[in-house]
Amino acid sequence: MYSPIKITETTHYIGVNDRRKPLFENQIPLPYGVSYNSYIVEDERTALIDTVDVCYFDVFLRKIDAVLGNRPLDYLIINHMEPDHSGSIRLIRERYPDIQIVGNAKTFDMIRGYFGITDNLLEVKDGDTLSLGRQTLQFILTPMVHWPETMMTYNPFDGTLFSGDAFGSFGTPDGGILDSSINTDRFWSEMRRYYANIVGKYGVPVQSALNKLKSVKINTICSTHGAVWVEQKEKVIDLYDKLSRYEPLEQGAVIAYGSMYGHTEEMAEAIAEGISAGGVKNVVLYDVSKTDSSFILSDIFKYSAVVIGSPTYMNEIMPAVETLLHKIEIRGIKNRIFAAFGSCTWAGVAPKRILPVAENLKWNIIGAVEEKQALKAEKYAEFFELGQNIAKQIS
């Protein structure tokens, strides 16, 4: 029924696609779905690299059978314990009771906690190896990319890196799995959105992991989400390098605002017009009440300037704006140009509530403008000028 997809001479892809789930981790929209990638390495002994969400175990098992037939499964290597990848461990153990589960000490703490499994565990440390016969797998510990137990498995035989969630992406690879056999256009923005929302807080650990990988020759990147990267692997690694250094990918500005009756939106438009008049082509505006913050965060990682606005609401800022600011702050995004703006009817405090986040992140603050009631001609000029000043810093 299933025709296994060969990644290399000895590696098969046996992952599954999930186009039903509306929200990843019950909070991040999935307009293009998500894949749970798993792999089998065949040799004198066999190794399964990660499992899949338990909801797809039946399909997953049939794919394993299509590769192995009646052969035993000797090892289950766990690169990451998050349940979308570890959810099928108990059922795999029931199907293959003699299987050895390979992971590090922190992996096993989680296996005991999630599944109560305490036996047939093979603990590995950074740099340890495991022989399958002709092939010897090497383990590279990458803590906090993005959980404390995360690690990668490297196969020097063919240069395949099983990278866990690192280099992953939202979106299902439809039909094929190799980047050489599918249109990868949509994966770049979905990889950035995945990084910004899942890994974005952990730039320093990602840099540590990338430094470790410099010592190995990588021909193929097999992540647990998205496509398998062969032809464009350098582009993938370069993207992670830039994102983890919080380096803007392009010059441009993100303007995110809340607006109850449209007045604050008019002010956002005035700032955008000023930025555009200053020669900046990449300007994107987001109404935080309409657009999920995962998309806004993705563009904040992409562009060099951030502008946040809100009306004063109960002597605070709009809750959706406050939520976005919190998400920006906990990710520790660095090196951005910033401005704030707001509106009010009688007592204005919005910019005062917004600015501390940029101050804490040590961003380059250009200014803040606020207007009472509707936007008036003389104040429009101030908002427009703020946009022009932002443009000067961008260019």
Helix (H) or strand (E) holding 367: strand 364-372
Residue 263: asked if its preceding bond is cis (omega within 30°), the reply is: no
Cβ burial of 175 (10 Å; 0-12, 13-18, 19+) is exposed
- Domain boundaries along the sequence of the chain: 5-244, 253-390
The CA distance from 143 to 362, in Å, is 27
Q: Is the separation of the CB atoms in 350 and 339 below 8 Å?
A: no
At residue 291's C-alpha, the angle toward residues 37 and 183, to 5°, is 40
The CA distance from 274 to 391, in Å, is 8
Give the residue from 92, 75, 78 showing the smallest Cα distance to 131: 75
Q: What is the mean pLDDT of residues 84-106?
A: 96
The residue with greater pLDDT, 315 or 268, is 268
- Segment 42-54, tens digit of pLDDT: 999 999 999 999 9
Q: Is the pLDDT of residue 251 over 70?
A: yes
The residue with greater pLDDT, 315 or 221, is 221
Q: Is the separation of the CB atoms in 356 and 328 below 8 Å?
A: no
- Segment 97-120, tens digit of pLDDT: 999 999 999 999 999 999 999 999
Q: Is the pLDDT of residue 2 over 80?
A: no
Q: Is the separation of the CB atoms in 38 and 46 below 8 Å?
A: no
In 60-89, which positions are buried (b, 16+ CB within 10 angstroms) versus exposed (e)? bbebbbebbeeeebbbbbbbbbbebbbbbb
Q: Is the pLDDT of residue 4 over 80?
A: no
Q: Is the separation of the CB atoms in 51 and 60 below 8 Å?
A: yes
Question: According to DSSP H, which parts of the chain are helical?
Answer: 57-68, 83-86, 89-95, 105-115, 185-194, 203-213, 233-244, 263-277, 293-302, 319-331, 350-360, 377-394
> Which pLDDT score is estimated for 1?
61
- Segment 119-148, tens digit of pLDDT: 999 999 999 999 999 999 999 999 999 999
- Arithmetic mean of pLDDT over the chain: 97
Q: What is the mean pLDDT of residues 243-270?
A: 97
β-pairing, 316-317 vs 303-313, is antiparallel
Of all residues in the chain, what percent carry a pLDDT higher than 70? 100
pTM: 0.95
CATH number assigned to the domain covering 253-390: 3.40.50.360
Could you please report the per-residue DSSP string of 23-50?
EETTTEE-TT-EEE--EEE-SSS-EEE-
Provide the CA 10 distance to its chain's centre, in angstroms. Answer: 29
How many other C-beta atoms lie within 10 A of the C-beta of residue 20? Answer: 8
Could you tell me which residues come within 8 angstroms of residue 152 by beta carbon, excluding any fewer than 6 positions away? 79, 139, 140, 142, 161, 162, 163, 164, 166, 209, 213
Query: Does the fold of domain 253-390 match that of domain 5-244?
Result: no
The CA distance from 252 to 210, in Å, is 27
How many other C-beta atoms lie within 10 A of the C-beta of residue 169? Answer: 26
Q: Is the separation of the CB atoms in 117 and 101 below 8 Å?
A: yes
Packed helices 233-244 and 203-213: angle between N→C axes, nearest 10 degrees: 140
Give the residue from 287, 335, 327, 290 showing the smallest Cα distance to 309: 287
Amino acid code (one letter) for 362: K
Phi, psi of 155 (to 5 degrees): -110, 100
Choose the CATH number for 5-244 among 3.60.15.10, 3.40.50.300, 3.40.50.12280, 3.20.20.70: 3.60.15.10
Phi, psi of 144 (to 5 degrees): 70, 30
In 140-163, which positions are buried (b, 16+ CB within 10 angstroms) versus exposed (e)? bbbbbbbbebbbbbbbebebbbbb
Residue 3: pLDDT band with limits 50, 70, 90: confident
